[in-house]
Chain A
Amino acid sequence: MLNKKSETLEGAVGRVKDGATILIGGFADPGTPEILIDGLRDLGRRDLTIVINNPGMHNSGVARLIEDGCVSKLICSFQWPKESLVFLERYDAGQIALEIVPQGTLAERMRTAGSGLGGFLTPTAVGTVLAEGKEAMTVNGTEYVLERPLRGDFALIKAYKVDPRGNLIYRKTARNFNPIMAMASDFTIVEVQEDVAINELDPEVIVTPGVFVDCYYVTGWYEIGKPRSAGNA
């Protein structure tokens, strides 16, 4: 059996090269592969395009990549206005490009890429500034915008359990973008809480089959993000 397990963090993320497009899972803290992101930061790569729903809050995750000047472009749906401070500072200084994509469109663009499709038609954003420059089409009387696939050179995702084939299950709302991003990259790297023996994961409940997984790194449980307070809402 192909060995997908990486014993070291550097071994897991070391393939990433300058200029790569990287899909990073998570919605707010849950499902964000914090340890892989730290490993990526330590590599000091440059000119990265990062695709993530919401870029690093406070001083965690992608905020640190941005702070170190590793990121030239960000594709996201949401930067928390009060918390993505590092991003906003760089954006205002013209040091980072931004592409805002509606959240459902962001997910579907990656699913489309992973599914070998050339795009899709969505009613989302019709008539808005986010549809400017995109082809419009009317099907059965409904207006749609043509959206194109979004593929990554790499995906950095987080899962709950993995077996030696790379089959994955997730935990609660930490699932979010992770299964989609696993499909949509040329090389998918998984940060996973726990690895289990073959046959320990019920094939009926596997969310991401190992065919979408190239490499995994086991981290154990850790407390994610920073302590939340009411002021973070």
Chain B
Amino acid sequence: MSEQTNLLTRQQIAARAAQDMQDGWLVNLGIGMPTMIPAFIPSNRDVMFHSENGLIGMGPPPAEGEADQDLISAGKELVTMVSGGAYVHHTDSFAIARGGRLDCAVLGAFQVAVNGDLCNWRLPNQTSGSVGGAMDIAAGSKRVFVMMTHTARDGAAKIVAARTYPLTAMKVVTKIFTDMAVISVTPDGFVLNEVAPGLTADVVQAATDAPLNMDAVGTIDVAA
């Protein structure tokens, strides 16, 4: 088990990632932790959420008694639609993804490599695996951000020099939000932008299986 006591909570990672969602963006959120982001979008920003099962303008879970069995997210959660939303069928939904209309996709990952390779759909040695819309969305979105724990449960690094897991999409990830840090993926390698309060850059480097540029490291604002 990790001995770190200064790791961010899932809510804190979501809050930090939400700060990078820009006004006017259409954003797709992967199943799991990324779905916590909408609650933390600053109120002065107009960010719309796309769910690949045919929903543009996904809203929060329904209030008690207002659930509709025909209105769910790609993660099968009951959701609502915001004002100005639209329903589309599957080829339109994926035209939005591959056609470059998603400003950002925030996805979970098993591994991110220094060249931006994303691995998030299948474990090594697994013969089945559930790809869903991950490959289409990762290949087509203007930006792919990853939100995940910095290391695997066994402590293994997930931010690596070269991937060893089955590939989802090549050279697509540009930013990583973890419970330890915010890291940019650049043509010159990983750049450590911010660390969690109470952690040092060296601690983050030790949990990362590739060199981090540590020239200008700030601290994640968890008060936001």
Contact = CB atoms under 8 A, between A and B. Distances in A.
Interface of A: 27-31, 77-81, 88, 91, 98, 100-105, 107-108, 111, 122-130, 170-180, 207, 223-225, 228, 232-233
Residue among A98, A108, A172, A173 with most chain B CB within 10 A: A173
B88 interface: yes
Given A100-B131, A123-B139, A129-B166, A107 B71 contact: no
Given A105-B135, A111-B91, 18 more contacts: A27-B53, A27-B72, A28-B72, A77-B131, A79-B130, A88-B128, A101-B131, A103-B133, A104-B97, A108-B94, A122-B98, A122-B136, A124-B136, A128-B169, A172-B68, A173-B51, A173-B53, A180-B89
Nearest to A91: B128
Give the 5 A-B CB pairs with smallest separation, nearest first: A104-B94, A104-B136, A107-B90, A103-B133, A172-B70
A29 B55 CA distance: 15
B78 interface: yes
A103 B91 contact: no
B170 interface: yes
A164 B187 CA distance: 59
B167 A124 contact: no
B94 A123 contact: no
Contacts of B52: 103-104
Decide if the interface of chain A is mainly helix, strand, loop or mixed.
loop
A233 B72 CA distance: 11
Contact of A176 (B78, B90, B122, B168): B90
Contacts of B75: 233
B136 A176 contact: no
A102 B54 contact: no
B168 A128 contact: yes
B53 A176 contact: yes
Interface residues of B, number: 43
Nearest to A114: B91
Given A104-B94, A128-B166, A233-B76, A172 B135 contact: no
Contacts of B128: 79, 88, 91, 98, 100
Given A100-B129, A128-B167, A175-B89, A107 B70 contact: no
Contacts, number: 145
Contacts of B136: 102-105, 122, 124
A25 to B, nearest CB: 10
Contacts of A108: 91, 94
30 contacts: A27-B90, A28-B53, A29-B76, A30-B70, A30-B72, A31-B70, A77-B132, A78-B130, A91-B128, A102-B136, A103-B90, A103-B94, A104-B91, A104-B136, A107-B93, A108-B94, A122-B136, A125-B139, A126-B169, A130-B131, A170-B87, A171-B70, A172-B68, A172-B81, A172-B87, A173-B70, A175-B88, A178-B89, A207-B89, A225-B69
B77 interface: yes
B130 A180 contact: no
A127 B91 CA distance: 23
A172 B54 CA distance: 8
Nearest to A27: B53
A128 B119 CA distance: 10
B140 interface: yes
A232 B31 CA distance: 12
B77 A123 contact: no
A27 B54 CA distance: 10
A124 B89 contact: no
Residue among A80, A104, A126, A223 with most chain B CB within 10 A: A104
A173 B97 contact: no
Contact of B78 (A98, A123, A224, A228): A228
Contacts of B69: 29-30, 223-225
Contacts of B70: 30-31, 171-174, 224
Contacts of A178: 89
Contacts of B68: 172
